[in-house]
Chains A and B, each alone.
Chain A
Amino acid sequence: MRLRDIVKRIFGGVAESFKERSGELVRLELRELENAFVLLVISPLIGLPGPSTVTSLRLLPLIERELAQSLNVSRRLDDMLAEMLGYLDIT
C-alpha cells in the first residue's frame, strides 16, 4: 500500500469518527431542545410560569411525539447526568 493511500485511510477514518461523534452530539442537543420546548409548552398546565394556558392548549395536540420522548427522558433522569458526561468525554 502506498503512503498516500495509508494517509488517506487514516484521515478518512478520523473524518468518519468526527462525523459520528458530531452526529451523536447534535442528536443529544436536539433531544434536549425538544425536551425544553415540551417543558415550556406544558409549563402553565403543571404550575410553572409559562406562555398562556391557551397557547399550551393549542400546541399540545401537535407535540405528541416530543411529549412521549420527554416522558421517556424524565423516567431516566437519574441516568441523564452520567449520559451527558459520557457524551462530553468527562470521566
Chain B
Amino acid sequence: MRVVITVGKGGVGKTTTAAGLGVALHERGYTILIVSLDPAHNLADVFNMRSTYRKTRVADRLEILEINVDEAVKKYLDEVALMMKTTFKHLSVLNIDKYIDVLSNAPGVEEHAIMNEFKRVLEENEDKDFIIFDMPPTGLSLRIVSLPFIHREWLRQLKNLRKAILDRRRMLRNVGEDIGGAPCEETEDPVMRELETMLRECEFLTHRLTSNDTRCVLVLAPETLPLLEAKRAFEKLRTLGISVSGCVVNKVLRLHSPVPELRSKLLEQEQCLNEIKRCFKDLVIVEVPFLEREPRGLDSLKTYANYIEPLVDSIVRS
C-alpha cells in the first residue's frame, strides 16, 4: 500500500488534485481510497456525491472517505475522559466527575485526533494499492505531520528518564533498602509499558511517513503567497524526512489575447512559474490551466487527470 499526501494553501485546489490523482491511478488499474482530513472538506462535492462520513464507492476499486474531524476529536476526548473518570471514579460519589469534561478544551487535541484518524485509516485499509490524503491547509497539515516526530522525541526522553528511575530502584532493592513496593523492572512498570505503547504508535507513524511508499505532492496556484507557503512546507517536509515527489500548479492562466486589466496578473504568474521551476527543480512540476468549469464528477476529473499525467507516472515509478 502506498500513500500520497496533498499539501498546500487553502483554496489552491488540493482536493481537486487529490481526486484527480485518485482517478488517474484508478484508470491505471489500481485500487484507490481518497481520504479527506480537512475539517472544511468537500471531497464528496468534487465527486458530486453526498457527504456521509463513511467510505463511499465511486466506482469499482475507487472509494472516498471524509473524516468528520469534530466527531474524531469528540470520540478521542471521550476515550480520554472515560479513562480519567475510571481512574478517579471516587469523584462520581460527589458528582464532580462532570468537571473532567473540561478536557475537551485541551490545546493540541485536534491535531492529535486527526493524526489518530490518519493512523486508523492506514491500519484499516492495507488492501488498497494507494491511499490519497487530502490534507487541511498547510499550517495545520504541517502541525499534524510534525506531531509524531515531536512526540517521539519527548517519549524517548521520558523513557530514558524512566529507565534511570528503575535503575536506581533496582540498586536500592539489591542492597536491601525498602522501596515501598515500587516496580523496579521495565516489564512490571505500568508507566514504562504505557510509554512503550505510545512510542510504538508514534514510530508506526514516523516510519510510515518517512518510508519510500509515502509521497507528498505540493499544490499551489501561480501566486506569491501560495508559493511562499509551498516553499516553507517543502523545507519542513524535507527536514522531517518526508519525500516530496511533485508539484501541481493549478489555475494557470493561458490567454490567447490578454486583456490589459490582466497584464500585471499575468506578469506575476510568469514570475511565480519561473520561481517554482527554480525552487522545485528536482520535483516533477505539472501545470493545470485555469479551467472554464470546476472539475466535478468522475468524467470531469478524468479530463483534469490528463494534465497531471507526468506526476502520476512519477508516483507509480517511485
Contacts and interface: CB of A to CB of B under 8 A. Distances in A.
B155 interface: yes
A83 interface: no
Nearest to B161: A37
B154 A23 contact: no
Interface string A46-87: 000011111101111111010000000000000000000000
Contact of B80 (A33, A36, A41, A54): A54
Contacts of B291: none
B141 to A, nearest CB: 17
Given A52-B108, A62-B191, A27 B177 contact: yes
Interface residues of B, number: 34
Contact of B107 (A33, A41, A53): A53
Contact of B151 (A29, A36, A55): A55
A50 B194 CA distance: 17
A34 B169 CA distance: 11
A33 B164 CA distance: 8
A29 B162 CA distance: 13
B165 interface: yes
What band does the interface of chain A fall in when counting residues whose beta carbon is under 8 Å from B? 20 to 34
B161 A40 contact: yes
B84 A57 contact: yes
Interface in B35-92: 80, 83-84, 87-88
A55 B88 CA distance: 17
Interface of B: 80, 83-84, 87-88, 103, 106-109, 112, 147, 151, 154-155, 157-158, 161-162, 164-165, 168-169, 171-172, 175, 177, 180, 182, 190-191, 194-195, 198
Given A37-B165, A65-B180, 6 more contacts: A33-B161, A34-B165, A40-B158, A51-B155, A57-B83, A61-B84
